[in-house]
Amino acid sequence: MKSAKAKAHTNIALIKYWGKKDPKLFLPMNSSLSLTLDAFYTETEVILDGNLEMDQFILNDEIQGEAETTKISNFLNLFRQETGILTPAKVTSQNFVPTAAGLASSASAFAALGAAMNEVSGMKADPTTLSTFVRRGSGSATRSVFGGFVEWQMGTCNEDSHAIQIDDASWDIAMVTVAVNTGKKTISSRQGMQLTVDTSPFYASWVETAATDLVDIKQAIRNQDFQQLGEITESNGMKMHGTMLGARPPFTYMEPTTIDVLAAVRQLRQQGFEAYYTMDAGPNVKVLCHLSDSEKIQMKLKEAFPNNPVIISKVGGGIELLS
């Protein structure tokens, strides 16, 4: 029996990935850019065990059923095709982030699983190549291989659609999360983006403007221009959410409290804080701000939303092997 255990952090996109050009290979419609978060992560152990009849998957201490286990098997098969090592695996994973709530559990999940399988199978791909493998578990996982600001370059094929670190984000940056609802969403990211691609008339302009947003945000990062960084982040995120209202049937991940949090962040700006919001496929709000302001911002948001957890995160690093 051989085993390996790895840790990966979640990442929150500032320029979003929302839609696939090739759903089988997980090639995205546009390149995206994210910030890796220290406070939210997944730890996953893979044991290769010749005595097992088939793969086993345990998530947060619960044995998973056929549908979830098949997803894991399909992903591990990518590594098996490459290495020729077909031994069944016992996969044990713990999320230190709510699962399927729009807080990017699929990103840390597949980055951690891929990193552990890369080690235990002896494949030992370099991080860039590994990012092309984990992409096929969940697109957002591509970016979780690295820390700081990370770009997922959409590329043209399986081999060149990968992540690169743009900047280690070691300047005065944090993200504050306001948890509005950490329950499991009813429309997964995968379903939501496909419905949008297939039916929303706003989709074409989303793709078009995401390309210029990416150029502009990379310039802002180079200049360490926080205001530009925040304004582009806010605009890009809301444009993505706008595409969903154009879908048929229309849908949204926003809840009433979400809207109140967005207003509270605008109010923080009026009070002089550089704070900007973004949201993923879920009702929770992430606030991009200076680390040096983050405790004050946390206090003010706690005051306004006493029933909602408000969590500060520093910038996170890339995948780590734990054993």
> Is residue 305 part of the contact set for ligand DP6 (CB under 6 A)?
no
Nearer to ligand ADP, 221 or 254 (CB): 254
The Cα 77–Cα 80 span in angstroms is 5
Nearest to 112 by CA among 45, 48, 26: 45
* C-beta of residue 2 within 8 angstroms of C-beta of residue 50: no
Given the complex with Co ion, which of 90 and 190 has the nearer CB atom? 190
Counting contacts by CB under 6 A, is residue 90 touching ligand DP6? no
Q: Which stretch binds ligand DP6 (CB under 6 A): 76-84, 138-146, 256-264, 306-314?
A: 138-146
Alpha helices in 121-173 (DSSP H): 127-134
189 counts as binding Co ion under rule CB under 5 A: yes
Pairing of strands 89-96, 32-48: antiparallel
Whether the Cβ atoms of residue 185 and residue 100 lie closer than 8 Å to each other: yes
Q: Which stretch binds ligand DP6 (CB under 6 A): 1-9, 15-23, 113-121, 195-203?
A: 15-23
Q: Binding string, 248-287, against ligand ADP, x = CB under 6 A? A: --------------------------------xxx-----
CA distance 152 to 178: 26
Total residues in contact with ligand ADP, by rule CB under 6 A: 22
The encoded tokens of residue 116 equal: 């552990």
Other C-beta atoms lying within 10 Å of the C-beta of residue 277:
25
CA 191 to the chain's CA centroid: 16
Q: What's the CA angle centered on 160, arms 241 and 151, to 5 degrees?
A: 45
Which of 44, 69, 106, 313 touches ligand DP6 by CB under 6 A? 106
**Measured from the CB of residue 108, what is the shortest distance to ligand ADP in angstroms?**
7
Print the binding letters for residues 140-179 with ligand DP6: x by CB under 6 A, - otherwise: x---------------------------------------
DSSP-derived secondary structure letter, 249: S
71 phi/psi in degrees, rounded to 5: -55, -45
Asked if 196 touches ligand ADP (CB under 6 A), the answer is no
Q: Taking CB under 6 A as the criterion, which residues in 30-89 touch ligand ADP?
A: 42, 59, 68, 71
Site string for Co ion, 107-146 (x = CB under 5 A): ----------------------------------------
Phi, psi dihedral angles at 125 (to 5 degrees): -65, 150
What contacts 96, CB < 8 A, 6 or more positions away?
40, 41, 42, 43
Residue 109 binding ligand ADP, by CB under 6 A: yes
| Contact yes or no for 81/87 (Cβ under 8 A) | no
Q: Number of C-alpha atoms within 13 angstroms, CB side, residue 118? A: 23
134-153 binders of ligand ADP (CB under 6 A): 138
Cβ proximity to ligand DP6, 16 vs 300, nearer residue? 16
Nearer to ligand DP6, 198 or 295 (CB): 198
Is the CB of 151 or the CB of 280 nearer to ligand DP6?
280
**What does the binding site for ligand ADP look like in residue numbers (CB under 6 A)?**
42, 59, 68, 71, 93, 95, 99-106, 109, 113, 138, 188-189, 280-282
